[in-house]
Chains A and B, each alone.
Chain A
Amino acid sequence: MIKRYFLFSALFLILFSPFCLAEEEYKFDISEIEKKPYHIGGYLEFRPILFGLDKDASLYKLKFFKRNEGKTVEEYNGKLQLEGSLEKGIARLFVRTNFDLKYSYLGWEHNETKRMIYEGYLSLKPSPSLTFKFGKQTLLWGKGYAFNPVAFAGRPKDADDPELALEGFIAASADYIKSFGGPLKTLAVTPVIFPIYKHINDDFGKINRLNFAAKLYFLLYDTDIDLIGLTGGSKTNRFGIDFSRNITSNFEVHGEFAFFNNQIKKVIDSQGKISESKFDAKSYLLGLRYLTPWDTTFIFEYYRNGTGFTYLEMKDYFTFIDKGYDLFLSKNNESLLKKASSVTQGNYGRPNPMRDYLYLRMTQKEPFNILYFTPALTTVMNLNDKSFSLSPEFFYTGFTNWEFRLKGTALIGQRKTEFGEKQNDYRIEFRVRYYF
């Protein structure tokens, strides 16, 4: 009798277990969606990098003239990005901090304490149409993926990793939104006030000035359009427009145009003579995003940097560095290299310092049915000197809250070209992130 009972029980379990499992599969616990007034989260990242050095490159000479680090250098990067928010009624307090720790041939380093708070603001939302924000905030304007010439109120993006969070500026801003029927569906106004004083946003531009920026957004005939401006004296006046539109369900086009009034360019010639010129500059960008039927996404952008250096100006800069290095080798005299360094920071050394660039990124969604696996190939090409970077990468997000990325970058170009004179020939990095 007992034997039979067990037999029936076993049969019952075998027959009905799939249904029991199915019930389990479809469980949705309401406690998972309960709203809490606070939130704490973030991610922890580990990113080792191997750099293959190019000892003949000008920027290698400028940085390593006193050192011999061999053919490769290693770098170990750690990052802790924390964010927290507290919400009560119409008010919300939000903080995002970023702590970077690096171990390289220079030893241990971490980012400056005052740069650890990426964002920290109080927002007040009396209605869905109106929001006020006070404090450090990132204002990322523009429609471009890799470049944003109209991002007047933000820090420049890294075209090599455009999706990285950026540090904000201390500002007071508001958003007013109005929706309509008809061809104009949305109108939004974002006025911003930037105080630029000693210890407050002092890396934005000239200090002791109050700056004003504004963005006027329209959704008109299914096209996003922004009109953007910045004035106040810390930077020269600048105005811009951008747009973005879906042409079909798999094809999007976007563009930006920026006008910079009285832009100043500091140029060094091959003899080391520094000169400044003032001019009105125009920068623009045209881009598209296209998804093929076989799930390959192409992001293509052409960027014209009107404030950038010409091929000859850049060539002179590299020639001067080489001269400085020769002087250092022959007479142990660092003076020319120091002079070259003084025009590098924020000038020749800024991201995308020349005039014409092409950006192409191809990503293939889940090839061979490997879910959450995305290989990609990215190239940034300098059209003025025909040098370029080529970056294959493999991205995997198959484990909940984990991200893995293996990325290589080859820098290819002749001597006296932007990518040919970078300190590295290649770079291989592995990035692992855990979100919590």
Chain B
Amino acid sequence: MKKILICLFTLLIAIPVYAIDGAQLLKQIDRNLNPESYEMYRKLINVEPDGRKKEYTLYSVKKGVDKVVALFLAPASEKGRSTLRLGDNMWLYIPNVGKPVRITSLQSVVGGVFNNSDILQLDYAAEYDVEKIEEAGNEYLLLLKAKTKTVAYDRIKLWADKNRKLPTKIECLTEASMLIKTLYFKEIKDFGGGIVRPSVLETDSPLYKGYKSIFIFANIKQRDFKDEVFTLTFMPNIESLRK
């Protein structure tokens, strides 16, 4: 009897750990990072080992799980460029060239550590399955695997704060678990409208020793857009969405 009680007690304790639904947790992390449909401004800063910086300002809008577009507002040399992502499809529009061209998610339109899929990030749950969850102190460690071959990183290790359910660190890995880059989420800020999330995202990469890239987020707001905004034909008109 005593043994049965001990077993039952052990099971009762164990249930909360095994009951964590990985997919649900990842979805919650996504929602805590951003509303499903939103607009936001970002400043991207590439920092070289000697401290030299180059800055870009972007306006982004997203709808649902697979539609996102980003427009470059500065510097003048990049102004008017826009990138669109519709699921696994990505395009770049350069005003001078005058027509959108398909690009690949691993390319970088800005140079530096961030690539196109970092700039046009979809929900993690839309691109990755949770393979395993581990608990490490105040954090969950989610081991994610890409759902398809077209996703930029084959594997991801995501550390998330247990209370806030927000990511603190992400490692992007190849199929063979080689580290491509690390993202650090910093400086949690209240953006209003119930959006409380990191306002700074820093990244470094063993492939770019001494370099780092930083995203600073501003004016993240829930906003709905028509599906037609996320089309090739609309790309030259993204600026008209800004208020």
- A362-410 contacts to B, CB under 8 A, are 365-366, 369, 371-372, 397-398, 400-403
CB contact under 8 A between A289 and B104, given known A177-B228, A190-B233: yes
Interface-side segment among B90-98, B129-137, B165-173: B90-98
A83 — which chain B residues lie within 8 A by C-beta? 95
The proximity string for B residues 50-93 relative to A, scoring 1 for CB distances below 8 Å and 0 otherwise, is: 00101101010000000000000111110100000011111000
- Residues of A within 8 Å of B, CB-based: how many? 67
The answer to whether A222 and B87 touch across the interface, beta carbons within 8 angstroms, is: yes
Is A246 among interface residues, defined by CB-CB distance under 8 A? yes
The answer to whether B75 and A401 touch across the interface, beta carbons within 8 angstroms, is: yes
- The CA-CA distance from A140 to B152 in the complex, in Å, is 30
The proximity string for A residues 157-178 relative to B, scoring 1 for CB distances below 8 Å and 0 otherwise, is: 0000011111000000001011
Residue in A128, A145, A246 whose beta carbon sits within 8 Å of that of B228 in the complex: A128
The answer to whether B76 and A401 touch across the interface, beta carbons within 8 angstroms, is: yes
The answer to whether B208 and A397 touch across the interface, beta carbons within 8 angstroms, is: no
B211 — which chain A residues lie within 8 A by C-beta? 369, 371
A103 — which chain B residues lie within 8 A by C-beta? none
A32 — which chain B residues lie within 8 A by C-beta? 43, 57, 73-74
CB contact under 8 A between A436 and B43, given known A92-B240, A188-B231, A249-B152: no
- The CA-CA distance from A164 to B98 in the complex, in Å, is 9
Which single residue of chain B is at the shortest CB-CB distance from A252? Answer: B102
Residue in A245, A251, A289, A400 whose beta carbon sits within 8 Å of that of B75 in the complex: A400
The answer to whether A33 and B233 touch across the interface, beta carbons within 8 angstroms, is: no
- The CA-CA distance from A368 to B154 in the complex, in Å, is 25
Is B2 among interface residues, defined by CB-CB distance under 8 A? no
Is A291 among interface residues, defined by CB-CB distance under 8 A? yes
- The CA-CA distance from A25 to B44 in the complex, in Å, is 11
Residue in A33, A128, A219, A254 whose beta carbon sits within 8 Å of that of B59 in the complex: A33
Q: How many A-B residue pairs have CB under 8 A?
A: 166
The answer to whether A186 and B54 touch across the interface, beta carbons within 8 angstroms, is: no
Residue in B86, B104, B240 whose beta carbon sits within 8 Å of that of A87 in the complex: B240
Residue in B112, B214, B237 whose beta carbon sits within 8 Å of that of A125 in the complex: B237
CB contact under 8 A between A398 and B43, given known A128-B228, A246-B88, A291-B106: no
Is A41 among interface residues, defined by CB-CB distance under 8 A? yes
- Residues of B within 8 Å of A, CB-based: how many? 70
- B197-243 contacts to A, CB under 8 A, are 199-200, 208-211, 214, 216-219, 225-234, 237, 239-240, 242-243
B233 — which chain A residues lie within 8 A by C-beta? 175, 177, 186, 188, 190, 217
A224 — which chain B residues lie within 8 A by C-beta? 102, 232
Is B99 among interface residues, defined by CB-CB distance under 8 A? yes
CB contact under 8 A between A26 and B228, given known A92-B240, A246-B89, A369-B211: no
CB contact under 8 A between A289 and B102, given known A177-B228, A219-B232, A400-B55: yes
- The CA-CA distance from A357 to B107 in the complex, in Å, is 27
The answer to whether A371 and B111 touch across the interface, beta carbons within 8 angstroms, is: yes
Is A129 among interface residues, defined by CB-CB distance under 8 A? yes
The answer to whether A41 and B76 touch across the interface, beta carbons within 8 angstroms, is: yes
Q: How far is the CB of A240 from chain B (nearest CB, A)?
A: 15
The answer to whether B43 and A28 touch across the interface, beta carbons within 8 angstroms, is: yes
The answer to whether A371 and B46 touch across the interface, beta carbons within 8 angstroms, is: yes
A252 — which chain B residues lie within 8 A by C-beta? 102-104
The answer to whether B97 and A140 touch across the interface, beta carbons within 8 angstroms, is: yes
A185 — which chain B residues lie within 8 A by C-beta? 86
Which single residue of chain A is at the shortest CB-CB distance from B73? Answer: A33
CB contact under 8 A between A26 and B57, given known A138-B98, A190-B233: no
B187 — which chain A residues lie within 8 A by C-beta? 26
Which single residue of chain B is at the shortest CB-CB distance from A41? Answer: B76
The answer to whether A25 and B90 touch across the interface, beta carbons within 8 angstroms, is: no
Q: How far is the CB of B69 from chain A (nearest CB, A)?
A: 12
Q: How far is the CB of B206 from chain A (nearest CB, A)?
A: 11
Which of A92, A254, A371 neighbours the largest number of chain B CB atoms within 10 Å of its CB?
Answer: A371
- A289-311 contacts to B, CB under 8 A, are 289, 291, 297
Is B3 among interface residues, defined by CB-CB distance under 8 A? no
Which single residue of chain A is at the shortest CB-CB distance from B113? Answer: A371
The answer to whether B77 and A365 touch across the interface, beta carbons within 8 angstroms, is: no
Residue in B106, B228, B237 whose beta carbon sits within 8 Å of that of A249 in the complex: B106
The answer to whether A249 and B105 touch across the interface, beta carbons within 8 angstroms, is: yes
Residue in A165, A249, A403 whose beta carbon sits within 8 Å of that of B77 in the complex: A403
B102 — which chain A residues lie within 8 A by C-beta? 143, 224, 244-246, 252, 254, 289
The answer to whether A28 and B89 touch across the interface, beta carbons within 8 angstroms, is: no
Is B101 among interface residues, defined by CB-CB distance under 8 A? yes
Q: How far is the CB of A162 from chain B (nearest CB, A)?
A: 8
The proximity string for A residues 318-329 relative to B, scoring 1 for CB distances below 8 Å and 0 otherwise, is: 000000000000
B37 — which chain A residues lie within 8 A by C-beta? none
The answer to whether B231 and A25 touch across the interface, beta carbons within 8 angstroms, is: no
- The CA-CA distance from A123 to B32 in the complex, in Å, is 39
The answer to whether B54 and A35 touch across the interface, beta carbons within 8 angstroms, is: no
A249 — which chain B residues lie within 8 A by C-beta? 88, 104-106, 117, 149-152
A369 — which chain B residues lie within 8 A by C-beta? 208-211
Task: Show 17 A/B contacts (Cβ-Cβ < 8 Å), sorted by A.
Answer: A26-B187, A28-B217, A35-B243, A43-B77, A128-B234, A140-B98, A143-B101, A143-B102, A162-B97, A165-B96, A219-B232, A224-B232, A246-B150, A248-B150, A249-B105, A249-B151, A371-B46
Q: Which 6 A-B pairs have the closest CB atoms?
A: A179-B227, A435-B77, A435-B76, A188-B233, A140-B99, A140-B98
Q: Apart from A33-B41, A87-B239, A186-B233, what 17 extra A-B contacts exist at CB < 8 Å? A: A25-B214, A26-B187, A28-B216, A32-B73, A32-B74, A33-B219, A41-B76, A129-B228, A143-B102, A177-B234, A179-B231, A224-B232, A249-B117, A250-B104, A291-B107, A400-B54, A400-B55
